[in-house]
Amino acid sequence: MRTELSFAPLSSISTELLAVLAIDAQTAKGSDAKPTPTLLSADPAVQAAAAAVLATGEFKAGSNETVLLHAPAGLAAKRLLIVGLGKIAKASVHSARDAAGTAVRFCKPREIRELVLALPENFSDALPHTVAAAVEGALIGDFDPDTYRSDRKDRSVQSFTLAALPSSDRAALEAAFAEGVIIGESQNFARSLVNEPGNKLTPTILGQRAAEMAQQVGLDFEIHFTEKLHELKMGAFWSVAQGSEEPPALIVLRYMPEGVTDGPVIGLVGKGITFDTGGISIKPADGMEKMKYDMAGGAAMIAAMRAIALLKPKARVIAVVCAAENMPDGRAYKPGDVCQAMSGKTIEIINTDAEGRLVLADGLTYARQLGATHLIDAATLTGAVSVALGKINAGAFSNDDSAYDRFTTALRVSGEKFWRLPLGEEYADLIKSDIADIKNTGGRWGGATIAAEFLHVFAEDIPWIHLDIAGLAWIEDFKPFIAKGPSGVAVRSILQWVRSFASA
């Protein structure tokens, strides 16, 4: 998709489709309160073209609601699309992100290849943030997962222009626009990785894709395989990998900006299980095909590093992604086995389908060995987090309130939904083992927190955040602003968390 920022008057822009945003400005409450759709554009020609349809009451400016007008009088555009942001009390910059995605996805099945979106006026004091969010939403909306269809038709929107007022602060908006392009493309990079089937994205190929990206954006990288795991005594990671014909990959990416020689070193650790059968504790057949997405945490870290390299925050960052397949062959680890993690801790295996926490255990230890002073990990770790939070919020855990406060601030920028869940000694007691130091599961109840407490053992006292993204990494239902399939969740939030250390 070609992207451009324009400062031309809306009425003069010649395009296949001009999209403008509207809000329900009704503030009264009660059954008698009627929606008051109000355009977020003061352009007289746009106002005149939309007046009749707004007067009918058919369009209520609900969240991501659309209405299309052909050959709008007074405009050079062939079509005028109005996209709703919802009620004024709830609309935000993040609503503009979704609305931009909705406009793009409206165009795709209609084979409209050119779209201009008018930047909303009198909507937010943080206009550059709105610019970045809008272009992010447009790029995210253009992604489709049908990569391997033999009859696939390219329905992508080829040109997206964001139109700002001619009187705008051009330098500030251009910088925000460029930033939004980087973030949107990085999130789509994560989605493209997660979308790949297990036979097309083995651990080795994931390492190759990460290395290619690193070379393109100027990151230092190392890709290691079985021998390195043995050298580092990564017994937990190797236990998971040993049942597969495909070798594991230990992916290390480094961003070390010039002139930054002290301060924190941020460690990003991702689960990269490129296919998860559950191992000997095999999963049910129904839905197992989706287990190609079990590397979404690793993909989020790789994509966040892409954005970090291009946006160049003044903070040192190391990413460690532990990639493997979890397969049930004759060499696979078994329930009852005991392995020794890189840290020296011994782990009793209760369930081989609780493999993500094992690879992350060694990943967290290695990130600390490489110098990380602050840690964040991401993983499609537990089904239990979806039971607790549904498909609305991802789970978040932390052993450090200050680190988590930074993450809360990052969420205000990213617009992603995470909910902090508890840690505690009572939960940690549930993973005490009779034969080893700890065991890899602790029973049916509180599964997401028990998994987090397992990781806490390896993060120790370093400020650490754990993101359990199992419920949000794959979109099951149609949404007007994003395709079904991989979401790329956590990329934006991880990036903003890292940037918070640069600004400190």
3-state secondary structure of 166: coil
DSSP class per residue in 393-416: -EEEEES-HHHHHHHHHHHHHH--
Q: Is 3 helix (H, G, I), strand (E, B) or coil?
A: strand
- Rounded CA separation 51/39 (Å): 9
Question: Given 209, 357, 439, 492, which residue is catalytic?
Answer: 357
| In contact, 292 and 275? CB cutoff 8 Å | yes
292 is catalytic: no
CA distance 126 to 432: 49
Give the number of residues written for the chain: 504
The phi and psi torsions of 425 (rounded to 5 degrees) equal -60, -35
Nearest to 160 by CA among 143, 177, 178, 135: 135
Encoded tokens for 474: 């794959």
CA-based R_g, the chain, Å: 24
Q: Check: CB of residue 127 under 8 Å from CB of residue 173.
A: yes
In the DSSP assignment, the letter for residue 256 is: -
Which of the residues 113, 228, 233, 283 is marked catalytic?
Answer: 283
Q: What is the DSSP letter of 27?
A: -
Catalytic annotation present for 357: yes
Q: Which stretches of 338-418 are DSSP H helices?
A: 356-369, 384-389, 401-414
Bridge partners for 2 per DSSP: 159
Quick check: helix, strand or coil at residue 224?
strand
Task: Please give the positions annotated as active site.
Answer: 283, 357
